[in-house]
Amino acid sequence: MAQSELSFLASELVAQLGGTLQGHDLRVRRLTSLQQATVDDISFLSNPRLRADALASCAGVLIVTEKTAQILGDGRTLIVADDPYLYFARVARLFHPVIKAKPGVHPTAVVAASAQLAADCEIGPHVVVGERTVIGSGSRLLAGVVVEDDCVIGTDCVLHANVVVYPGCRLGDRVELHSGSIIGADGFGLAWDKQDNYWYKIVQTGGVVLGDDVEIGANTTIDRGAIEDTVVENGVKIDNQVQIGHNDKIGAHTAIAGCTGIAGSTEIGPYCIIGGAAMIAGHLTIPAKTMIAAATPVSHSIKQADHYAAVYPLQTHKEWVKNAAYLRHLREMHHQLKKLEQLLMAQQTSEIVNQE
């Protein structure tokens, strides 16, 4: 992202975002890391392990907690906030405000006669808008976007280059789809034909519904439902290269990190956090506020919210080969242990009888 041309006094940031200003009221022109910051920059410290970096930083203004402010002492310009990371995110938005739509339709765009476009929406080069599709106020469809028939795009949405929205999908307000994401492709629905020995495709007649303030990462795919819709509720954030299967339901404000795969007909509750490369099987449920660690396989429904993880830690190949040899014999070892338990119980019972 290009450097912002905006600048702010520290007092202006506090006036807009809250917090407490300590030290001189300096003007800052850029938000950057502790290591790269100069006197004209603002940076933040949210991880206590980086306090040494904060002490050495040349940043003109630092966003810190009250405890860190006491450690840094006098002589620095500080903005004291309860959550420096969240404060940093809000400062970043001030430096890089949301780009507003440039109303108009590019001459290379192809827009169906029955489509309804808000007067202030932006339709970029080589965009295709299908029949009966509705594009809301302030929305931006950038280069190469395809929105097929009977779709609804809400207000102030951003569809980045080469996004594809299949027929009959509905997006709420302020939805952002990053480049290459595909909304509403067919779900993986197949029935095996025993007589002719081939997979018979099940027509996918549902759609995809995205709630308000949903953000979908680059090259992420969300399949349309087989009969009912696939639903992603308000405020959900999905990273790059994630697969959401048909008829899934993702609860409000859940966050899903990159390369996660979720099979069809799974319901994930609100406020969940799914780590990168998690693999979630189909036809199961995950309750609200569940955390699943990166690369964790989830093969059955979860009944109680908690922090779940199930991955072998990194090992050398030599160690893994040795452990794998034991894994292959777990069933046999289990039976042997059961026999030993039975023998031990029999021996203890015999001793008790003899004592009597």
What are the residue numbers of the active site?
Answer: 246
Q: Is the dihedral of CA 28, 44, 213, 242 positive or negative?
A: positive
Tell me whether strands 237-238 and 221-223 are parallel, antiparallel or unpaired: unpaired
State both tokens at 280.
């979630």
Task: Give the whole-angstrom CA distance, residue 22 versus residue 319.
Answer: 54
The identity of residue 80, as a single letter, is V
Task: Give the whole-angstrom CA distance, residue 207 versus residue 63.
Answer: 44
Cβ 247 vs Cβ 228: under 8 Å: yes
Instruction: Name 199's bridge partners.
Output: 192
Q: What share of the chain is helix, strand, coil (3-state, %, to 5)?
A: 20, 25, 55
Cβ 138 vs Cβ 132: under 8 Å: no
CB atoms within 10 A of CB 333: 11
Tokens 């590019």 sit on residue: 106
Task: Give the whole-angstrom CA distance, residue 311 versus residue 247.
Answer: 27
CB atoms within 10 A of CB 19: 21
Tokens 């006094």 sit on residue: 9
